[in-house]
Amino acid sequence: MSAGDSPASVASHTRISDILAALSLEEKLSLLAGASPWRTTAIKRVGVPPLKVSDGPSGARGEVFGENVPAAFLPSGVSLGATWDVNLMERIGGLLAEECKTKSASVSLAPTMCIHRHPLGGRNFESFSEDPFLTGKLASAHIRGMQSRGIGATPKHFVANDQETKRFKVSANISARALREVYLLPFQMMVREADPWCMMTAYNKVNGHHCDASKELLIDIARDEWKWSGVFMSDWGGTTSAVASINNGLDLEMPGPPQHRSLEALKGPLADGAVDLKRIDESAYRMLNLLERTGRFEDDSDEPEYTSNDPTIGALLLEAAAAGIVLLKNQPNALPLKADEQSISRLAVVGPNAKRIAWRVGVTGHGTEVVFHEGARMNRYLPAPSKSARNPDTGIHGACVDWFFGHDFSTGVVTKTHIDDLYFINFGDVPKEIGRPTDFCFRVRTVLTPLTTGTHKLSLASMGPAKLFVDGNQILQQSGDFSTRASLFFTYGSDEVVTELFMEAGKDHDIRIDYLSHDRQLDPSIAPLMDPMENIFQGVRLGFQEANDSDLPAEAGVLAKTCDAAIVVVGRDKEWETEGHDIPIFELPGEQVRLIREVAANCKRTIVVVQAGTPVNMYPWIDQVDAVLYTWYQGQELGNAAAQVITGKVNPSGRLPITFPRDLRDCPAYSSFPGEQNESHYSEGLYVGYRWWDLVGTKPLFPIGYGLSYNGFSISPAGIDSTTLTLEKGVTVTATVRNTGGYDVAGAQIVIFFAKQVSACRLARPTRHICGFAKTSRLTSGQEEVVSSVIDAYALGMFDASKKRWVIDAGSEFEIHVGSDAEHTECGWRITVPEEISWTHILGDGIGPEL
């Protein structure tokens, strides 16, 4: 504590210190590991309550993985990144906090802050940008919004979890400067600007050391340099050791029950004196402090989860979704499709997800006929049954799951649950009546009613041993053998096995899957080979494809020929972009490219809507279409948001937070992603994203910041309050933005400020880097607005690895460029640094124990 602390802080510190002094060593250790998948450990003897956490960035998932109480579904991280809107991000953080309260959770496992190092990163869709400055600013706002409502944030994954391939084993080998200036920088920014109450460590290693047990990362940098005092928790299953993780600063192992921090696991090391007892006290203090910050000592209730019906939630999510949509191409008069436009009497909406996305297109003001067509197959695996499967006990969509003890289904049904999705993953959260993570089985029952007559395809994939029965006859089987080559599920499950079966339209078929828990963690010959999450996940997946030999793209082209305009909805889905796997291809999967070409060749006004979390290869077809909208993954309001932009109710204001390459080979990490033999060498160094394109002079398909509006905008430098920079005082630059017209709906524009060092520099620097940005309000035609950004030393510093300090050399001169995107900027000002600026830590005192 320090002399300036408030009475409340002193009282809090006293309470926590008193509780800590009363705890036994065994009780302190219990605080350092979860009690269950989503809860920490309570100590009733001294009044320590449990704390519940909830995943994640896309919404407050709640306790049950997969089949949970519904929650608001937020736009993906990259879509929020495309808004470039700090104020909106703070409001989204507040919304997520209120959603956590509906699940009785006190901490949210969000936001995701990893850098888009390569376009095929499997979890890029969760993260904001390729740029560390933009990532840090948006994350800070998100955290402030969340924690202002009393819910702790958990930015993740600390650090360099930029690929999913071998994510538990791979070592991200990064130079000291790249580590500091690219990958750690956004975390350092949000510590300084938002003080998160928690932080989650990454699965991977950095320079040979697992993140959860890295003294350099957790203690030397985060604690000693940054003065951060929050809770470091592991990613789920990401604690890799007992002794090293405690001694090197990991406060909390998740999920529980613990694998590494059980009393049995620590008994020997404690007796040998291998465990640093001071670290145990520090971590226990931080856990108690988290309970204090989240108000758990005052209110330790754990109410049933529920779904909020607050209409303001949907309104904010619609606003956020629309604000992230990026218009990449728009030939004259292609968009918007106005409701009163007489030239459109018939509109085609085609694509695998067309009805899900654009069924509210709304171009019906004068009686436009809207026709739909599936258009193309894009599934990576046989699709899970949708409307054709229903629970035999209730008649509603989905299936019934009967749970049993043991592995022979002889105990009688212990309990039943319902699942909506026949892609069923169990994350260790078995029903309480089963209550144990091993030695159980379940039976999935559903009724399948085909819509067509012919030869249908069925598939089975699983984590453990499983058999598929149709009308009592076994047709497929999975052995459940351990494999490292699987492409389904988060970890080592199986690939799907496929068979064919003749079925008649409208005839019911009883489907049954018998599944046995794999229990591989009990086998000493296999357990050391498994990834940490392998012993938690159980799961099974049923695939079903109707008999259909149609040439869908050709059919869609014929339909489009009869229409005045066509909207082609393409992209990826969770089979292609997901946690646990990197994206296998840059191209649009399946028949979608041919679909675009067929429609474009037959319709004079073709608009393509792309759903994806990262760039797709558009170079082969973009010149053949009239307009392209990138809608990312927008959560529950995607259809409405896309419709608003397509019909011109909302003027598109999203701008790319990442560079779109023409060719995957142009990307900075092309030669080293995802690495080999559990090593990934970050050979591009500082030159991530747009910095690489600047370095090599290659022109991307679209630069960072790119995006069109239905209006035109001009941006011009306005003013600067000083041309001299010091550590204590940054410079404020302003730019004038004018809506130059073109459409009668107001539009917003982002302004990006780039710094370029023009004086001699003793350390290599990118040609330029983003040092500020701003977004206007919505401007009508002819309206102007002046926006501003403060450029401080933290935005211009470079890390001197030899001195282990951040520096800006005396005499440094910078040009500050301003513009709409990386290809459209002009030099607005020049600033100087008369004296060396140097720092090793974030200014300000940390709050923590005095032990």
Mean pLDDT of 611-639: 96
Pair (541, 398) in one structural domain = yes
Token pair of 61 as six digits: 């998932």
Tell me the percentage of the chain whose pLDDT exceeds 90.
Answer: 81
In a domain, 214, yes or no: yes
CATH of the domain at 818: 2.60.40.10
Mean pLDDT of 569-575: 92
Q: Compute the C-alpha angle 417/422/427, nearest 5°.
A: 60
Mean pLDDT of 56-66: 82
pLDDT of residue 288: 98
Tokens 């040009």 sit on residue: 815
Q: Is the pLDDT of residue 363 over 50?
A: no
In a domain, 587, yes or no: no
Amino acid at 479: S
Q: Is the pLDDT of residue 283 over 80?
A: yes
* 3-class SS shares of the chain: helix, strand, coil, % to 5: 25, 25, 50
Q: Is the pLDDT of residue 537 over 60?
A: yes
Amino acid at 351: G
Pair (278, 404) in one structural domain = no
Pair (277, 396) in one structural domain = no
Long-range contacts of residues 503-508, Cβ cutoff 8 Å, at least 24 apart: 503/450, 503/453, 503/454, 503/456, 503/547, 504/450, 504/453, 505/450, 505/451, 505/452, 505/453, 506/449, 506/450, 506/451, 507/449, 507/450, 508/447, 508/448, 508/449
Q: Is the pLDDT of residue 612 over 60?
A: yes
pLDDT of residue 549: 84
Q: Which of 13-22, 107-116, 700-709 is predicted least confidently?
A: 13-22
Single out the catalytic residue among 162, 235, 429, 821.
235
Query: What is d(CA 812, CA 828) in angstroms, rounded to the nearest whole number?
Result: 17
Pair (422, 282) in one structural domain = no
Pair (399, 280) in one structural domain = no
Going by the DSSP 8-state scheme, the letter that residue 258 receives in this structure is P
3-class DSSP state of 686: coil
594, 587 contact by CB (below 8 A): no
Tell me the percentage of the chain whose pLDDT exceeds 70.
Answer: 94
pLDDT of residue 90: 98
> How many domains does the structure of the chain reveal?
3
pLDDT of residue 840: 85
In a domain, 718, yes or no: yes
Q: How many helices (H) and strands (E) does the chain have?
A: 17, 36
368, 660 contact by CB (below 8 A): no
In a domain, 133, yes or no: yes
Stronger pLDDT, 521 or 206, i.e. the higher one: 206
User: Could you tell me the pLDDT band of residue 329, with boundaries at 50, 70 and 90?
Assistant: very high
pLDDT of residue 364: 44
The residue from 494, 514, 545 where one domain ends is 545
For the residues of 280-336, what is the DSSP string, one character each? HHHHHHHHHHHHHHTTTTT----PPP-----HHHHHHHHHHHHHH-EEEEE-TTTS-
Q: Is the pLDDT of residue 846 over 50?
A: no
197, 148 contact by CB (below 8 A): no
Q: Which of 5-19, 204-218, 790-804 is predicted least confidently?
A: 5-19
Q: Which of 106-115, 329-338, 692-701 is predicted least confidently?
A: 329-338
Q: Across all residues in the chain, what is the average pLDDT?
A: 92
Class of residue 484 by CB neighbours under 10 A (exposed 0-12, middle 13-18, buried 19+): exposed
Pair (267, 130) in one structural domain = yes
pLDDT in tens, 737-762: 999 998 899 999 999 999 999 999 99
Structural domain harbouring 525: 389-545
749, 727 contact by CB (below 8 A): no
CATH of the domain at 456: 2.60.120.260
Phi, psi torsion values for 416, nearest 5 degrees = -125, 145
User: Could you tell me the pLDDT band of residue 444, with boundaries at 50, 70 and 90?
Assistant: very high
Q: Where are the alpha helices (DSSP H) in 502-637?
A: 552-560, 592-602
Q: Is the pLDDT of residue 3 over 60?
A: no
Mean pLDDT of 834-841: 90
pLDDT of residue 360: 38
Concerning whether 495 is annotated as a catalytic residue, the answer is no
- Minimal CA–CA distance to 326: which of 705, 741, 598, 812? 705
Pair (137, 262) in one structural domain = yes
User: Could you tell me the pLDDT band of residue 488, with boundaries at 50, 70 and 90?
Assistant: low
pLDDT in tens, 266-281: 999 999 999 999 999 9
Q: Is the pLDDT of residue 16 over 50?
A: yes
In a domain, 646, yes or no: no
In a domain, 220, yes or no: yes
Amino acid at 832: T
The residue from 266, 297, 328 where one domain ends is 297
pLDDT of residue 495: 84
The residue from 545, 572, 591 where one domain ends is 545
pLDDT in tens, 71-83: 999 999 999 999 9
Class of residue 377 by CB neighbours under 10 A (exposed 0-12, middle 13-18, buried 19+): middle
Pair (125, 255) in one structural domain = yes
- 3-state helix/strand/coil string of 502-525: EECCCCCEEEEEEEECCCHHHCCC
Token pair of 364 as six digits: 């019906």
Pair (283, 418) in one structural domain = no
Q: Which of 153-162, 192-201, 490-499, 686-695 is predicted least confidently?
A: 490-499
pLDDT of residue 849: 32
pLDDT in tens, 145-167: 999 999 999 999 999 999 999 99
Q: Is the pLDDT of residue 362 over 50?
A: no
Return all residues near 179 (Cβ < 8 A) that are at least 6 apart.
159, 160, 206, 207
3-class DSSP state of 261: coil
pLDDT of residue 575: 87
Q: Is the pLDDT of residue 700 over 90?
A: yes
CATH of the domain at 256: 3.20.20.300
